[in-house]
């Protein structure tokens, strides 16, 4: 059973891996014995986090702002200079923007959709060759896209572009899953509920108690909850899972 859930020796890229959900996954992968690359927009922070995680395993920083195809191609090229194959791609880098209906700006739609949706597509496409090189019938390469329960249910906050982008990520996941399956690359999405992350910080400070109280499990997500799901999907235990959107929310989206 330990082999079934092992990712030891695999190579992974986690975008947005310097904080929040991405850091939870990157840390879990490093501690599980994977060789992990992390990218984020802020180079200094990315380097600091990689240095910290390298104390317990292998973590390499490649800063990148994936808000456009050229940066996606550059990041893929830098990975290919270091690796002949890539077992796991976690598309986590994302942006959010909140503003009332009557005031929501066009620039917010462009920023959020460019990073949250187009960035996922362009980076996955740029890395398909490396993913295919790692893939086999018994152990496919994995793409794990980070969606959100806000893409499943209507959010309470005025995050018009974010919730729309995450619904798009879920559908893009299914589309990519069907296209890449013949190459022995699976594509799945994780739809987190409330976790203690930088993106959720202000919301949890204001509404954390009430959010926890309305969760069927009565709490906010913990780092190990996210790491466990990401490890499962990347291990042989998840080898036959493809095109799935998996809520990790304590039951909020399905039971509330």
- Tell me how many helices (H) and strands (E) the chain has: 9, 7
Contact between 235 and 6 under an 8 Å Cβ cutoff? The reply is: yes
162 is catalytic: yes
Largest CA distance in the chain: 54
Spell out the residues 6+ positions from residue 202 whose beta carbon is closer than 8 angstroms to its own.
none
* Residue that is written with structure tokens 């589309």 in the block: 175
Lateral strand order in the sheet of 141-146? 58-61, 35-39, 11-15, 88-91, 141-146, 185-192, 245-248
Q: Which of 29, 37, 101, 162 is catalytic?
A: 162
Q: Measure the CA angle with vertex 178, ends 86 and 148; round to 5°.
A: 75
Give the residue numbers annotated as catalytic, written as ranges.
162
């Amino acid at each position: 059973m330990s082999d079934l859930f092992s990712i030891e020796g695999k190579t992974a890229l986690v975008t947005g891996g310097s904080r929040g959900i991405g850091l939870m996954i990157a840390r879990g992968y490093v501690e599980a014995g994977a060789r992990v690359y992390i990218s984020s927009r802020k180079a200094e922070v990315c380097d600091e986090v990689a240095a910290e995680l390298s104390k317990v395993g292998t973590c390499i920083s490649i800063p990148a702002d994936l808000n456009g195809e050229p940066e996606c191609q550059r990041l893929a090229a830098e990975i290919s200079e270091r690796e002949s194959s890539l077992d796991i791609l976690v598309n986590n880098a994302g942006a959010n923007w909140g503003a009332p209906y009557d005031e929501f700006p066009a620039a917010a739609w462009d920023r959020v959709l460019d990073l949250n949706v187009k960035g996922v597509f362009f980076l996955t496409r740029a890395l398909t060759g490396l993913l295919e090189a790692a893939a086999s019938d018994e152990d496919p390469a994995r793409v794990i896209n980070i969606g959100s329960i806000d893409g499943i249910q209507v959010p309470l906050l005025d995050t018009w572009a974010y919730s729309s982008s995450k619904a798009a990520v879920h559908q893009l996941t299914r589309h990519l899953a069907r296209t890449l399956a013949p190459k022995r690359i699976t594509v799945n999405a994780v739809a987190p509920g409330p976790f203690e992350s930088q993106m959720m910080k202000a919301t949890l400070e204001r509404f954390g108690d009430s959010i926890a109280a309305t969760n069927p499990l009565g709490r906010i997500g913990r780092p190990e909850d996210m790491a466990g799901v990401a490890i499962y999907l990347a291990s042989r235990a998840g080898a036959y899972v493809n095109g799935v959107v998996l809520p990790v929310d304590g039951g909020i989206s399905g039971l509330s």
